[in-house]
């Protein structure tokens, strides 16, 4: 396969890009012709070309196995959903039950309510055989409810044993995955034949290794509508400024993708890129410049951005994450004070669509993705896989050991294509500050 790209000739003219995004010609953003992307992404394909890759790390492919571990007859399956709401949870639940019933003939299911809390003590459960699975696919939220917070894995395993559960499907984010890892350790300690299979759920798209989490595309599509509304509000008033705060504790994926889907944003602020508010080259200086040129501005900020402007917050939420200071409130006050000091009247709109975004039903893309995740999870569980997360890695569904996801967070690369697409679109500087 000849992948050589022809050039018309030697490139001798410096690009004008640095002047627009305040960078230099040595910046990491610029690529050279010797930076290559591998054509083959599987060991089988590389081996066929004669490459010696037997020791290369690789994830196990997801999918149905010819031989399975569990006998479907009298098999009892549990499902629990944890953490915050996210589009597509009900789609995953429906997909799990449909696949287990229609492909494997399983007929006994227990839905544990309100996250891991439902697995502690004598909490009421849901008989999922009585649920209209087709109907819940068009519903937001979770029919099982959800909660945040750790529960004792010893008590949870006691509940699974009491209820005769052989497979537990866990749907949740980073805190949920840490809980699943602890649960697997307790099950292993007791030498119990109980499989724990996880489907990663996070609206922030911050689960490492996988291509993206379910519900993310729906979320940034809805977030883009909020940016569009902010643009309408900003342009409808003299001195109009819309400040749209979106989800993203540690990762700015929703802010970035939404701003690229709805290109009216003038500034995008994310947790991965620190910024100065005041002073030479600071955010307010650039905002004032924008306002004097166009008399309106649209600002998108992820909830975790700008935490460096606050005293360290030591309090934790129920999931074990540091509580965030209110960057939206800080920017609102500083913007109002700045324009008042220069006698420039503004109309500032605050828009926070977070909870409205979390609760919507999954769009068509996420509906398909949720079903495929559910199918992969079922095949993994029936094959006796445990302590495993199913997800898409380089467009293929794979099995990932849960412990690999619990020690890092997926974040926007400040030197990567996504962030630079945002900078190229907004025209904002790569860094705010001198």
Sheet of strand 296-302: strand arrangement: 267-269, 296-302, 240-246, 347-351
| Catalytic-residue membership of 278 | no
The C-alpha angle 153, 389, 418, rounded to 5 degrees, equals 125
Burial of 415 (0-12, 13-18, 19+ CB in 10 A): exposed
- State how far the Cα of 290 lies from the Cα of 80, in Å rounded to an integer: 48
User: 196 with 184: CB under 8 angstroms?
Assistant: yes
Nearest to 366 by CA among 150, 214, 199: 214
* Per annotation, catalytic residue among 204, 206, 266, 366: 204
- State how far the Cα of 326 lies from the Cα of 221, in Å rounded to an integer: 24
User: 79 with 109: CB under 8 angstroms?
Assistant: yes
3-class DSSP assignment, residue 167: strand
User: 87 with 362: CB under 8 angstroms?
Assistant: yes
Query: Parallel, antiparallel, or unpaired: how do β-strands 125-126 and 60-61 relate?
Result: unpaired
- State how far the Cα of 195 lies from the Cα of 209, in Å rounded to an integer: 22
Helices and strands per DSSP (H, E), number in the chain: 13, 12
Q: How crowded is residue 297: how many other Cβ atoms within 10 Å of its Cβ?
A: 27
Nearest to 240 by CA among 292, 288, 297: 297
Close Cβ partners of 161 (under 8 Å, ≥ 6 residues apart): 192, 194
Catalytic site residues? Answer: 204
């Amino acid at each position: 396969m000849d992948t050589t790209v022809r050039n018309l000739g030697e490139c001798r003219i410096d690009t004008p890009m640095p002047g627009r995004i305040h960078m230099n010609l040595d910046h990491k953003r610029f690529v050279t012709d010797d930076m290559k992307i591998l054509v083959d992404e599987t060991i089988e394909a590389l081996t066929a070309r004669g490459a010696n890759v037997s020791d290369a790390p690789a994830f196990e492919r997801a999918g149905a196995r010819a031989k399975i571990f569990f006998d479907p007859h009298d098999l009892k399956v549990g499902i629990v959903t944890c953490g915050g709401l996210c589009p597509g949870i009900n789609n995953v639940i429906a997909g799990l039950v449909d696949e287990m019933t229609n492909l494997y003939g399983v007929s006994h299911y227990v839905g544990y309510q309100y996250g891991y809390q439902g697995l502690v003590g004598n909490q009421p459960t849901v008989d999922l055989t009585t649920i209209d699975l087709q109907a819940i696919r068009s519903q937001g939220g979770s029919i099982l409810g959800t909660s945040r917070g750790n529960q004792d894995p010893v008590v949870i395993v006691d509940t699974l044993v009491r209820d005769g559960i052989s497979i537990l499907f866990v749907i949740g984010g980073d805190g949920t995955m840490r809980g699943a890892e602890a649960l697997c350790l307790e099950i292993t300690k007791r030498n119990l034949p109980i499989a724990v299979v996880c489907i990663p759920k996070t609206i922030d798209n911050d689960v490492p290794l996988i291509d993206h989490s379910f519900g993310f595309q729906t979320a940034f599509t809805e977030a883009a509508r909020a940016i569009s509304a902010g643009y309408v509000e900003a342009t409808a008033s003299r001195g109009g400024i819309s400040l749209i705060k979106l989800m993203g504790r540690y990762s700015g994926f929703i802010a970035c993708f939404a701003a690229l889907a709805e290109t009216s944003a003038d500034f995008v602020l994310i947790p991965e890129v620190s910024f100065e508010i005041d002073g030479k080259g600071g955010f307010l200086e650039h905002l004032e410049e924008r306002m004097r040129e166009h008399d309106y501005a649209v600002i998108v900020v992820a909830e975790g951005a700008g935490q460096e402007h606050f005293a360290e917050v030591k309090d934790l939420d129920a999931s074990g994450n540091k509580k965030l200071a209110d960057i939206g409130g800080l920017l609102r006050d500083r913007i109002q004070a700045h324009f008042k000091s220069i006698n420039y009247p503004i109309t500032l709109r605050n828009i926070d669509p977070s909870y409205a975004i979390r609760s919507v039903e999954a769009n068509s893309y996420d509906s398909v993705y949720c079903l495929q995740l559910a199918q992969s999870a079922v095949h993994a569980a029936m094959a006796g896989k445990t302590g495993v997360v199913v997800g898409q890695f380089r467009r293929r569904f794979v099995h990932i050991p849960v412990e690999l996801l619990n020690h890092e967070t997926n974040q926007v690369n400040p030197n990567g294509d996504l962030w630079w697409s945002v900078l190229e679109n907004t025209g904002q500087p790569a860094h705010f500050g001198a």
